[in-house]
A = this chain, B = another copy of it.
């Protein structure tokens, strides 16, 4: 008799990954280097060390080591909430009547409510090891801010979190969680930084954006002794830390003897998607599988599906290095939609490069359809998903329904990045029918593109 696949598969602590997977060591071409905006020369490690701590800079620039050891101390912290379960969505399959097998890797079983903690602990550990005493960051939906406050609470570092103003207003409880772990929360844009004051002067009623919040956090980090900035997505070292998600998922699927046909992840800055797909994508690049990788983004902030592949600033204040990525322009002001974590104008350079080179495809979905899928999923599978994660659920359901038509027994894996317990304002607006969809017009997008740096590299 065939052994039944369990609802949930947990690795043992011994089976947990001891290494992060560095996808760049496998990629046939690297993404273009960061540029110093003043000189338009590639950034050196020295340039980056003013902003990021040393070990993270080394990881950011590492294109050669396929596996990077996870320090023992970080493994000890990870065991507080990992391994995360790989779940077979039997009840969802049954409700859809699909012959497809649906699996999800569930990252919501920790107080940050998402995968973000995976990188927060690593970045905080290295900061502590370097003797730093203070970190700054931004947060949108609040998951990253919570994750980092947990790590800083654990390691005893001061933390200032610049929280996108519209999220701070929608989510006072998120703010309280961050404060419980001992961090300071500042609604962004704020009057505590030069860049915040400038943004407020130009647009006093703005609800803020991740881009604004990043500018403020970097300003504080670079003007405060023993302080560095940490970022929860986009950068290569963040994707590296998130590769533990994919490593665990692959180990669990291998144990079950399951080879996925489709892997779906929501994409805001790209860290969840990049981490989830890392070891699977390596196999694809090396010709060992032909998995259909799908990035899902909101129609309201369609970096991959409607953006430009160009050099751009990572922040609204234009103080970061220039990154070549799919972007809507750092001047793009997303509507205050509710999937706060997906409201970023750009996209991870690694994910962008993979997309550009045809290794993954992208699709965009509208907000009300996403909440419909989220509510359906909650009733079937119990867990109330985060709006961000629900973008992946929506597409997983669509793919499973296609299988129902064709009779294909595809194996679908998606990333359930987190829970929606702090997103009830959004759920309420869905339930009472006041939620609306927003799709930027070509004119809206053009305004964002007009903000792209006018440099020779963007004139190709």
Contact = CB atoms under 8 A, between A and B. Distances in A.
A181 B80 contact: no
Contacts of A177: 384, 421, 424, 427
B8 A380 contact: no
Interface in A392-449: 419, 421-422, 424-425, 427-428, 431
A6 B10 contact: no
Contacts of A425: 173, 176
A180 B419 contact: no
Contact of A180 (B111, B153, B384): B384
Contact of A80 (B7, B10, B154): B7
A378 B111 contact: yes
Interface residues of A, number: 44
Contacts of A13: 6-8
Contacts of A195: none
A298 to B, nearest CB: 20
Given A12-B6, A176-B428, A111 B379 contact: no
A383 B153 CA distance: 12
Contacts of A382: 80-81, 110-111, 117, 150, 154
Nearest to A87: B80
A182 B6 contact: no
Contacts of A54: none
Interface string A151-173: 00110000000000000000011
Given A172-B424, A378-B180, A111 B80 contact: no
Contacts of A113: 421
Interface in A89-124: 90-91, 109-111, 113, 117
Contacts of A81: 382-383
A375 B180 contact: yes
Contacts of A7: 13, 79-80
A292 interface: no
A431 B180 contact: yes
Contacts of A173: 173, 421-422, 424-425
Interface string A47-78: 00000000000000000000000000000100
Interface of A: 6-8, 10, 12-13, 76, 79-81, 90-91, 109-111, 113, 117, 150, 153-154, 172-173, 176-177, 179-182, 375, 378-384, 419, 421-422, 424-425, 427-428, 431
Given A81-B382, A154-B382, 15 more contacts: A109-B109, A110-B383, A111-B383, A111-B421, A113-B421, A153-B379, A154-B380, A176-B427, A177-B424, A179-B428, A180-B378, A180-B384, A180-B424, A182-B379, A421-B422
